[in-house]
Structure 1
Amino acid sequence: MKMKRLTLLLLFLTQLVWAQENTFKNPILQGGYPDPSITTDGEYFYIVNSSFEYFPGLPLHRSKDLVNWEFIGYGLHRADQCNGEMNLVDVQQNGGIHAPTIRYHEGKFYIITTNVYNPIDGSPTKMINFIITAEKITGPWSEPHIIKGAPGIDPDIFFDDNGDVWFVGTHSPENPNYEGEGEIWTQQLDLDNWKLKGERHYLYRGACGGVWVEGPHVYKHDGKYYLMVAEGGTSYNHAMMIAVSENMTGPYESNERNPILTTRNLSYDNWVNSTGHADIVQLKDGRWYMVALGIRGDVQRASNMGRETFLVPVQWERVPFWWEEIKYDWPVVAPETGRVMKNEKLPFDSHPQLRNDAFIDNFDGNPLDLEWNFRRVPMENTYSLSAKKGHLRLFLKPEVIQKRGRTSLMGIRQKETDFEYSSKMKFNAKKEGTEAGISIFQKDDNFINFTVKKKNGKHVLQLLLAEKKVEELQVLKEEVITDYKGEIIFKLLSMENKYVFSYSLDNGKTFIPFETTKSDYLLSFGWNSGYTGAYCGIYATSNGKPTKEYADFDWVNYKGFE
């Protein structure tokens, strides 16, 4: 009997190990990577994500197996792509680059997307729809080709097999029946002149009330046109709907089994919520997969990482009912479970997922690592990688973190709720009010700064909080460090829903506890404009007074804990 039990136990453990080795873990792109769109050139798969007010914009990844993704660049990687009408210099938070579509067609990559810009003078919001192209995914990418007369957001570009090219857009109908009613429209594109041409056609207002219908994608399958859209807003009621037509211009018939992906039927406490805004791609062997955004429910049904990219299997199934006159094929998302799973079967058994939650930058190379982002196009001479060998020099500017502002602030995406982030800084503060250190930031009005500041002639260690819906900056702790010699290591440990801040003045031999706070200050709720995720970064400012001072950062080290 004991031998039988032991055999069964070994069999169970073997099956468990096999199952773990043959699965991948969601999300496939950790951190703030919302609104994914996917395409393939037959060799690689490529994903682009929205980037809102961040620069560089439109991050790009590639993969051969759908689970291991290489960060390879940005669609908006030059300042001259992001000025003038394409303003990412003083764009409002949660504005900027929304929901792109990427497609590969006849040897060229196309990204179509929207820059949402609220003019400072209070005039109406501008929806600037544009296309960029590249011969290689790594660029260089073209200047933005702005499509005049194209209203709304979240455009799709569809290349029909007869040579026609279509712009598929989202807008509010002229006479909406309720707030948030959306409508999908299409019009042919002249790619020689980057203009719309011909008649505009109105296609679809959604399947379940049509609230916030957006993010359209068109596919050709079984000789028919399938229009997939997001609906319900990018929160708990987010969902994917699909409709079909014999013609590109409609009429479109909704799938009776909509929505094809959602968490609105699950508990608010499901491990992931708000799934939607998806795109699908076909593999060489005929199988299909979907990429979709979702929000991990780590804390208060939200997470600091905001909306991330998840992978789900898809299969097409024909309507089985004998009384249906036309038997359409429809995509069935996650056919075995009906939901996004934390662990899914690998698309290719021979390609295990090699997950890496660490990032170390010793600033030994040039240019800057792709992981680094700025809030808006940075000012000139914000940083240097050559001023001091093996260091990043961050120049102090008079500007501080504020709405629509630019300052000496840069960061990398937080990728797990539990993590450790540290950085070594050399900073000899001279002028009163100068400060530098690390920053954990979400928005212009939502961040935590852990810095050394020159105050009343002394070096002060300061922990400062900008909290949503709280007008004034809050000083969580301030302490004079009398033995500061110009070098410090900052450390933040996020664990058990707490942030533990500490520092070292002896090159990491000992760390001195400074303060412990809750970790949910930077939560990103989908229903509260939580379009992006938190960043771990570095920051320097002279707080309004011009100076030639700077801070040299020797390294940064990030490690996420699943």
Structure 2
Amino acid sequence: MPAFQNPVLPGCHPDPSVCRVGDTYYLVTSSFGYFPGIPVHRSTDLVHWELVGHVLTRPEQAPLAGLDVNDGVWAATMRHHAGRFYVVATVARGRRGASTFVVTATDPAGPWSDPVPLEADGIDPSLFVDDDGRCWFTATRDAPEPAVTGPAELWLRELDLATLRLTGPEHVLWHGALRGAWVEGPHLYLRDGRYWLIAAEGGTERNHAVTAASAPAVTGPYATDPRSPLLTHRHLGPGHPVQNVGHADLVDTPDGATWALTLGVRPVDGAHTLGREAFLVPVEWTERGPVFAPGTGTVPATGSTGLPGPTAPDDRPGGAEVLTLDAPLAAQGWSSLRGPVDHLVRPADDGRGLALTPTAATLWGTGTPALVARRQQHLRFRLRCRLAFATTSSHEEAGVTVLLHQQRLATLAVSAGPDGEPVARLRMRTGDVVADLAGVPVLERDAIVELVVRGDEQSYRFAVVLPGGDERVLGEVPRTAFATETAGGFLGVHLGVHAQTTGTPTGARAVVSHVSYEALEDRAADPTDVPLVGSTRG
């Protein structure tokens, strides 16, 4: 049986929710301001996950225009019952739940129904179908008396699966195990006649933890499991390679084993850039309840599920992933911001690449720019992009970006200098402050220029391969500049290609002829120690 290496879904895949149908498992994660929303992955062994579709593929399903990229679609839960899949999720605005909805499908790859709004406060919705077929909706919200109960409460109400409406009375279930901590991420399970409420507490940072309560009836009363937290890494010290562990969902295998999918981060020197990733943890049920990672109490680095699957993971170092430019980009794991960009990013007329039309919607705004991006999934990587862009305006650019969110990003892009001649520029944006780090002439207006980004433990390094093969490293940005610990937010770094304008469009379009992403084993395999033109390092 194949072994696994955690995380099983690397890169920004937070808030994992999993369900099983037969011998197949399905997983959804948060998508925030990226479109299409709520990626759906499929697996037969809980280890190797294949992207099979998205829940929100039509802009009217989840209007995201004007939102901070850290808002948008939060913490979806997927469940299956009687031949139909259900997903509930929240759309957040201003870091608070603004609306909650449910969608359905008979095929998790889609298409999914239009969202049905639910009269539900708060965030982190979940569904539980009891043995009698009744479906129960749970979520977390602000507690009315935080000084008495704590800041949040988990609540429950029945969901009528025929009408997709909440019905009957509300039941407040639990205020959490940790005094003063926000309780969230509730999921309900029935085991040996007792209902188990698994939740997350401590915030999605270093104090994150999995806690639990149980009850004789689905509506309560729930008693805190005195063993809480059942899983956390907060006591392991800052040097442990996995931190922020929490927000777990459980699934049983056909042979009766139980596994948890939980989020975590992999900081280096106290800072992480890949975002919250999905980790696999064994769970054993005892007479006292679930035991996470029995024998160790920590997320395992490696293991085996004992389930049939591929013999080797396909997301580890060992070859470049080349973007197929004339195939659907979303199916290859590339996303846009807040809506579709088919009218801005499309196959070139001659079929020899991907044409990007610069738009006034910028990367640092809250619109839908001409951008397609993929998650950074490895600390050490190389992104290559070959493009031609014959603009004569210094206000237009097309190139590559390292994007954490709209207030923290770097671009290496082809534009025009003051004399109208083409130039490649490296810029770094921190809030409203833009630093012009370096520039180099491109020499020929219609020439194909290769832009390269390399990342490692120390920095992101940006280079240009000029016509004739001469490579110039323009500069580097410290890796920590894109870390959540310094820049804030809920996301991991995305790497993309873009085109934008801050002036009057000239009508020029960028044509991308190659994009590839490659995981690198080590720095020795990536010799780039050449003089820098510019850098943000002191």
Q: Which residue of structure 2 aligns with residue 58 of structure 1?
A: 38
Q: Which residue of structure 2 aligns with residue 492 of structure 1?
A: 453
Change in Cα spacing, 1:444 to 1:471, as seen in structure 2 (3 Å) is same
Which residue identity lines up with residue 358 of structure 2 in the other structure? L
Q: Alignment partner for residue 270 of structure 2, among 297, 301, 305? A: 301
Alignment of 1:274-313 (within 5 A): 274-298=244-268, 300-313=269-282
Q: Which residue of structure 2 aligns with residue 445 of structure 1?
A: 407
Q: Alignment partner for residue 73 of structure 2, among 97, 106, 110? A: 97
Check if 1:385 corresponds to 2:347.
Answer: yes
Check if 1:231 corresponds to 2:194.
Answer: no
Q: Alignment partner for residue 255 of structure 1, among 218, 221, 225? A: 225
Question: Deviation string for 1:444-487 (max 9, x for gaps)?
Answer: 011110011112112122100012xx531111112333355431
Check if 1:479 corresponds to 2:455.
Answer: no
Structure 1 residues 527-536 or 126-135, which shifts more?
Answer: 527-536
Structure label with greater radius of gyration: 1
Q: Is the 1:378–1:407 contact (alpha carbons within 8 Å) kept by the matching residues of 2?
A: no
Question: Deviation string for 1:268-326 (max 9, x for gaps)?
Answer: 2210100001100000000000000001012x3232111000001110112xxxxxxxx
How many Å separate the matches in 2 of 1:200 and 1:395?
A: 50
Q: Which residue of structure 1 aligns with residue 108 of structure 2?
A: 137
Alignment of 1:490-529 (within 5 A): 490-506=451-467, 509-525=469-485, 529=488
Q: Alignment partner for residue 15 of structure 2, among 35, 59, 64? A: 35
SS in 2 for 1:177: helix
How many Å separate the matches in 2 of 1:147 and 1:81?
A: 14
Check if 1:79 corresponds to 2:38.
Answer: no
Which residue identity lines up with residue 513 of structure 1 in the other structure? V
Q: Which residue of structure 2 aligns with residue 270 of structure 1?
A: 240
SS in 1 for 2:484: coil
Change in Cα spacing, 1:366 to 1:247, as seen in structure 2 (3 Å) is closer
Q: Which residue of structure 2 aligns with residue 321 of structure 1?
A: none
- Compute the displacement of 1:497 (Å): 1.0
Which residue identity lines up with residue 436 of structure 2 in the other structure? V
How many Å separate the matches in 2 of 1:32 and 1:219?
A: 27
Q: Which residue of structure 2 aligns with residue 427 of structure 1?
A: 389
SS in 1 for 2:60: helix
SS in 2 for 1:208: coil
How many Å separate the matches in 1 of 2:99 and 2:84?
A: 22
How many Å separate the matches in 2 of 1:538 and 1:179?
A: 48
SS in 2 for 1:466: strand
Taking structure 2 as the reference length, the TM-score comes to: 0.92
SS in 2 for 1:430: coil
How many Å separate the matches in 2 of 1:113 and 1:171?
A: 14
Which residue identity lines up with residue 471 of structure 2 in the other structure? F
How many Å separate the matches in 1 of 2:460 and 2:397?
A: 21
Q: Which residue of structure 2 aligns with residue 336 of structure 1?
A: 295
How many Å separate the matches in 2 of 1:481 and 1:355?
A: 36
How many Å separate the matches in 1 of 2:393 and 2:216?
A: 70
Which residue identity lines up with residue 129 of structure 1 in the other structure? T
Q: Is the 1:399–1:544 contact (alpha carbons within 8 Å) kept by the matching residues of 2?
A: no
How many Å separate the matches in 2 of 1:81 and 1:308?
A: 25
Unaligned runs of 5+ in 1: 1-20, 119-123, 319-328
How many Å separate the matches in 2 of 1:117 and 1:53?
A: 10
Question: Deviation string for 1:77-119 (max 9, x for gaps)?
Answer: 112212xxxx21222232111111110111111111100124x
Q: Is the 1:93–1:403 contact (alpha carbons within 8 Å) kept by the matching residues of 2?
A: no
SS in 1 for 2:332: coil
Q: Which residue of structure 2 aligns with residue 463 of structure 1?
A: 426
Q: Is the 2:44–2:309 contact (alpha carbons within 8 Å) kept by the matching residues of 1?
A: no
Q: Which residue of structure 2 aligns with residue 552 of structure 1?
A: 511
Deviation above 4 Å: which 4+ runs of structure 1? none
Q: Alignment partner for residue 64 of structure 2, among 68, 88, 94? A: 88
Question: Deviation string for 1:133-190 (max 9, x for gaps)?
Answer: 1100110011011102x11100111111112111111111112118971100101112
SS in 1 for 2:147: coil
Q: Is the 2:385–2:452 contact (alpha carbons within 8 Å) kept by the matching residues of 1?
A: yes
How many Å separate the matches in 1 of 2:397 and 2:133?
A: 58
Q: Is the 1:433–1:455 contact (alpha carbons within 8 Å) kept by the matching residues of 2?
A: no
Q: Percent of aligned positions with the same letter in both sequences?
A: 33
Alignment of 1:204-223 (within 5 A): 204-209=174-179, 211-223=181-193
SS in 2 for 1:489: strand
How many Å separate the matches in 1 of 2:261 and 2:211?
A: 14
Q: Which residue of structure 1 aligns with residue 133 of structure 2?
A: 163
Question: Deviation string for 1:501-530 (max 9, x for gaps)?
Answer: 2212237x44233223322221123x9743
Question: Deviation string for 1:49-101 (max 9, x for gaps)?
Answer: 0111111110110100111111111111112212xxxx212222321111111
Q: Is the 2:348–2:511 contact (alpha carbons within 8 Å) kept by the matching residues of 1?
A: no
- Compute the displacement of 1:499 (Å): 2.4
Q: Is the 1:445–1:466 contact (alpha carbons within 8 Å) kept by the matching residues of 2?
A: yes
Check if 1:23 corresponds to 2:17.
Answer: no
How many Å separate the matches in 1 of 2:343 and 2:475?
A: 33
Q: Is the 1:39–1:102 contact (alpha carbons within 8 Å) kept by the matching residues of 2?
A: yes
How many Å separate the matches in 1 of 2:96 and 2:231?
A: 31
Taking structure 1 as the reference length, the TM-score comes to: 0.88
Q: Is the 2:399–2:414 contact (alpha carbons within 8 Å) kept by the matching residues of 1?
A: yes
How many Å separate the matches in 1 of 2:241 and 2:281?
A: 15
How many Å separate the matches in 1 of 2:434 and 2:352?
A: 34
Change in Cα spacing, 1:515 to 1:151, as seen in structure 2 (3 Å) is same
How many Å separate the matches in 1 of 2:150 and 2:69?
A: 21
Q: Is the 2:65–2:339 contact (alpha carbons within 8 Å) kept by the matching residues of 1?
A: yes
- Compute the displacement of 1:375 (Å): 1.7
Which residue identity lines up with residue 274 of structure 2 in the other structure? M
Check if 1:106 corresponds to 2:79.
Answer: no
Q: Which residue of structure 1 aligns with residue 536 of structure 2?
A: none
How many Å separate the matches in 1 of 2:360 and 2:267?
A: 38
Q: Is the 2:200–2:246 contact (alpha carbons within 8 Å) kept by the matching residues of 1?
A: yes
How many Å separate the matches in 2 of 1:178 and 1:429?
A: 63
SS in 2 for 1:521: helix
- Compute the displacement of 1:496 (Å): 4.4
- Compute the displacement of 1:213 (Å): 0.4
SS in 1 for 2:190: strand
Which residue identity lines up with residue 59 of structure 2 in the other structure? A
Which residue identity lines up with residue 497 of structure 2 in the other structure? I
Change in Cα spacing, 1:180 to 1:297, as seen in structure 2 (3 Å) is farther
SS in 2 for 1:473: strand
Q: How many residues align?
A: 517
SS in 1 for 2:203: coil
Q: Is the 2:28–2:78 contact (alpha carbons within 8 Å) kept by the matching residues of 1?
A: yes
Q: Which residue of structure 2 aligns with residue 316 of structure 1?
A: 285
Structure 1 residues 203-212 or 237-246, which shifts more?
Answer: 203-212
How many Å separate the matches in 2 of 1:519 and 1:256?
A: 40
Instruction: Name the Cα RMSD after superposition.
Output: 2.1
Q: Is the 1:421–1:557 contact (alpha carbons within 8 Å) kept by the matching residues of 2?
A: yes
- Compute the displacement of 1:498 (Å): 2.5
Unaligned runs of 5+ in 2: 522-538
Q: Is the 2:23–2:254 contact (alpha carbons within 8 Å) kept by the matching residues of 1?
A: no
Q: Which residue of structure 1 aligns with residue 534 of structure 2?
A: none
Q: Which residue of structure 1 aligns with residue 529 of structure 2?
A: none
How many Å separate the matches in 2 of 1:38 and 1:368?
A: 21
Q: Is the 1:397–1:547 contact (alpha carbons within 8 Å) kept by the matching residues of 2?
A: no
How many Å separate the matches in 2 of 1:295 and 1:435?
A: 33
Check if 1:415 corresponds to 2:395.
Answer: no
